[in-house]
Amino acid sequence: MKKYSVRESFEKALEIPIELLKNVPRATIIGDECVLVENYKAIVEYEKNLIRLSNNLSILGEDLNVAEITSDEIIINGKIKSIEF
Partner 1 sequence: MFLLKSFNYLKGYIVVRAEGFFIERLMNLCQIRNLKTWDTKIWCSGIIEFKINSWDYERLLEIAKITRCNIEKINQRGAVSVAKRYSKRKVFAVMLSVICVIISLINKRFWNIEIQGNQDISLSEIYKELEKENFKKGVLKDEIDFANVKSNIYQRRDDILWLGFSVKGNTVIVDVVERKNPEEDPYKNKPCNIISEKDGIIESIYVKEGSANVEKGDAIYKGDLLVKGTISSEYSEDRYVSANAEIMIKTWYEGKVAIPYEKSLLIKSGNRHNTYKLSVRKLCDKFVKY
Binding site for partner 1 (CB under 8 A): 42-48, 64-71
The 8-class DSSP code of residue 24 comes to -
Measured from the CB of residue 48, what is the shortest distance to partner 1 in angstroms? Answer: 5
Backbone φ and ψ for 40, nearest 5 degrees, come out as -80, 160
> For residues 54 and 42, what is the distance between their CA atoms, to the nearest angstrom?
5
Measured from the CB of residue 6, what is the shortest distance to partner 1 in angstroms? Answer: 34
Q: For partner 1, which is the closer residue by CB, 19 or 68?
A: 68
Q: For partner 1, which is the closer residue by CB, 12 or 48?
A: 48
The 8-class DSSP code of residue 27 comes to E
